[in-house]
Structure 1
Amino acid sequence: MSITLGQYIFERMNQLHVKTIFGVPGDFNLLLLDYISKVPGMRWAGNANELNAAYAADGYSRVTRLGCIVTTFGVGELSALNGIAGAYAEQVGLVHIAGVPATSSQNNRLLLHHTLGNGDFTVYRKIKMSAHLLNVNVMLKDITTAPSEIDRCIREAYIHQRPVYIGLPTNLVDIEVPRSLLDTEIDLTLPETNAAAEEEVVSRVLDLIKGADNPIIIVDACCARHGCRGEAQKLIELTQFPTFTTPMGKGAVNESHPRFGGVYLGDLSSPDVKEFVNNKADLIISLGAVLSDFNTGAFTHRFSTNDLIEVHSDYTKIRNATYERIQMKHVLNTLLGKIGSAIKDYKPVELHFPSLKQKIPSASGTGKVSQEYLWKAVAKFFREDDIVITETGTSSFGIVQSKFPNETLGISQVLWGSIGYTVGATLGALMAAEESKKPSRRVILFIGDGSLQLTVQEISTMCKWNLKPYLFVLNNNGYTIERLIHGEKASYNDVQPWKHLKLLDLFNAQDYENITVNTDKELDELFTDQKFAKNDKIRMIELHLEEMDAPISLIEQANKTSQTNAS
Structure 2
Amino acid sequence: MASLDIATRELENPIDLAEYLFRRLHEVGIRAVHGVPGDYNLAALDYLPKCGLDWVGNCNELNAGYAADGYARVNGMGALITTFGVGELSALNAIAGAYSEFVPIVHIVGQPTTKSQKDGMLLHHTLGNGDFNVFTKMSEGISCYVAQLNDPHYAATYIDSAIRECWIRSRPVYVTLPTDMIYAKVNGDRLKTPIDLSPPENDPEKEKYVVDVVLKYLQGAKNPVILVDACAIRHRALEEVRDLVEASGLPTFVAPMGKGAVNETHKNFGGVYAGSGSNTGVREVVESSDLILSIGAIKSDFNTAGFTYRIGQLNTIDFHSNFVRVRYSEYPDINMKGVLRKVVQKMGKLNVTPTPQITNKLPAEEQSSSNQAITHSWLWPIVGQWLKENDVVITETGTANFGIWDTRFPANVTAISQVLWGSIGYSMGSCQGAALAAKEQNNRRTILFIGDGSIQLTVQELSTILRNKLSPIVFVICNEGYTIERYIHGWEAPYNDIQPWEFANLPKVFGADAGYKGYRIKTRDELQKLFADQDFCTADALRLVELYMPRDDAPAGLKSTAEAAAARNA
Normalising by the residue count of structure 2, what TM-score does the alignment of the two structures yield? Answer: 0.95
In the other structure, the counterpart of 1:473 is 476
Q: Which amino acid aligns with 1:505?
A: K
Match of 1:550 among 547, 554, 558: 554
Does 2:404 align with 1:395? no
| CA distance in structure 2 between the aligned counterparts of 1:242 and 1:275, rounded to whole angstroms | 12
- Which residue is equivalent to 1:4? 16
CA distance in 1, matches of 2:480, 2:360: 31
State the Cα distance separating 1:466 from its structure 2 match: 1.1
| Deviation string, structure 1 residues 480-526 (Cα, Å, up to 9, x no partner) | 10001000110111111111111110111122111111011111111
| 3-state SS of 2:196 partner | coil
Instruction: Find the counterpart in structure 2 of residue 509 from structure 1.
Output: 512
Cα-to-partner distance string for 1:27-72 (whole Å, 9 max, x where unaligned): 11111111001113x1000000110011011101101111000000
The aligned counterpart of 1:190 is 199
Q: CA deviation at 1:138?
A: 2.0
Q: Which residue of structure 1 lines up, in the alignment, with residue 569 of structure 2? A: 565
Letter in 2 for 1:368: A
Aligned equivalent of 2:235, options 226, 230, 234: 226
Correspondence for 1:67 among 59, 78, 83: 78
Give the counterpart letter for 1:133 in structure 2.
Answer: I
Residue matched to 1:326: 334
Q: 2:29 aligns with which of 3, 13, 17?
A: 17
Work out whether residues 466 and 512 of structure 2, in 8 Å CA contact, stay in contact via their aligned partners in 1: yes
Q: Once the 2 structures are TM-superposed, how far is the Cα of residue 363 of structure 1 from its aligned partner? A: 8.8
Cα–Cα, structure 1 residues 358 and 234, in superposed 2: closer, same or farther, change >3 Å?
Answer: farther
Which is worse superposed, 355-364 or 61-70?
A: 355-364
User: Is 2:425 the counterpart of 1:420?
Assistant: yes
The amino acid that maps onto 1:488 is W
**Which amino acid letter does the alignment assign opposite residue 545 of structure 2?**
I
Deviates more, 1:170-179 or 1:398-407: 170-179
Question: One-letter code of the match for 2:33?
Answer: I
Superposed displacement of residue 425, structure 1? 0.6
Q: Which runs of 5+ in 1 are unaligned?
A: none
Which residue is equivalent to 2:456?
453
Q: Could you tell me which amino acid in structure 2 is paired with residue 24 of structure 1? A: V
Q: What SS does the corresponding residue of 1:286 show, helix, strand or coil? A: strand
Give 1:276's aligned residue: 285
Among candidates 28, 33, 42, match of residue 30 of structure 1: 42
> What is the RMSD of the two structures over their aligned residues, measured on CA atoms?
1.4
The 8 Å contact of residues 261 and 356 in structure 1, kept in 2 or not, is answered as no
Residue of structure 2 equivalent to 1:154: 163
Cα distance in 1 between the residues matched to 2:404 and 2:396: 10
Equivalent of 1:463, from 458, 462, 466?
466
* 2:9 aligned residue: none
Amino acid corresponding to residue 434 of structure 1 in structure 2:
K
The aligned amino acid for 2:376 is Q
Structure 1, residues 449-500: CA drift from partner, whole Å, max 9, x if none? 0000000001100000111000100011110100010001101111111111
1:262 is matched with: 271
Matches within 5 A, 1:120-139: 120-127=131-138, 130-139=139-148
Tell whether the 8 Å contact from 1:366 to 1:521 is kept in structure 2 after alignment.
no
Structure 1 residue 434, shift from structure 2 partner: 1.1
**Could you list the per-position Cα deviations for residues 122-159 of structure 1 after superposition, in whole angstroms to 9, with x for gaps in the alignment?**
001113xx221110112111101101100100000011
- Cα distance in structure 1, aligned partners of 2:547 and 2:131: 50
Counterpart-to-counterpart distance in 2, 1:303 and 1:366: 38
Could you tell me whether the CA contact under 8 Å between 1:266 and 1:296 is conserved in 2?
Answer: yes
Check if 1:93 corresponds to 2:104.
Answer: yes
Shift of 1:2: 2.8
Please report how far the alpha carbon of residue 188 of structure 1 lies from its aligned counterpart in structure 2 after TM superposition. Answer: 0.7
Matched with 1:45 is: 56
Kindly indicate whether residue 266 of structure 2 is the aligned counterpart of residue 290 of structure 1: no
Aligned counterpart for 1:410 among listed residues 415, 419, 426: 415
2-structure distance, mates of 1:352, 1:465: 43
Partner SS for 2:150: coil
What secondary structure, in the 3-state scheme, does the structure 2 residue paired with 1:145 have?
helix
- Residues 314-351 of structure 1, C-alpha deviation per residue, up to 9 Å, x if partnerless? 11111111111111212212222221x3xx2x343233
- Which residue in 2 is equivalent to 1:348? 352
In the TM superposition, 1:296-335 aligns within 5 A as 296-335=304-343
Partner of 2:6: none
In structure 2, what is the Cα distance between the partners aligned to 1:224 and 1:84? 19
**Partner residue in 1 for 2:494:** 491
Aligned equivalents of 1:518, 1:481: Cα separation in 2: 21
- After TM superposition, give the deviation of residue 355 of structure 1 in Å: 6.3
CA–CA distance in 2 between the matches of 1:350 and 1:528? 35
Secondary structure of the 2:152 match is coil
Distance 2:123 2:59 in 1: 25
Which SS does the other structure have where 1:237 is aligned? Answer: helix
3-state SS in 2 of match to 1:144: helix
Do residues 538 (structure 1) and 542 (structure 2) align? yes
Rate the CA distance shift 1:362–1:268 in 2: closer, same or farther, 3 A.
Answer: closer
SS at match of 2:190: helix
Q: 1:427-448 deviations in whole A, cap 9, x for unaligned?
A: 1111111112x13x10000000
- Letter of the 1:183 partner, please give it: K
Q: Give, in whole Å, the separation in 2 of the partners of 1:514 and 1:364.
A: 28
Q: State the identity %.
A: 47
Partner of 1:174: 183
The answer (yes or no) to whether the contact 2:360–2:382 under 8 Å persists in 1 is no
| Paired letter, 2:451 | G
**In the alignment, is the contact (CA less than 8 A) between 1:420 and 1:452 conserved in 2?**
yes
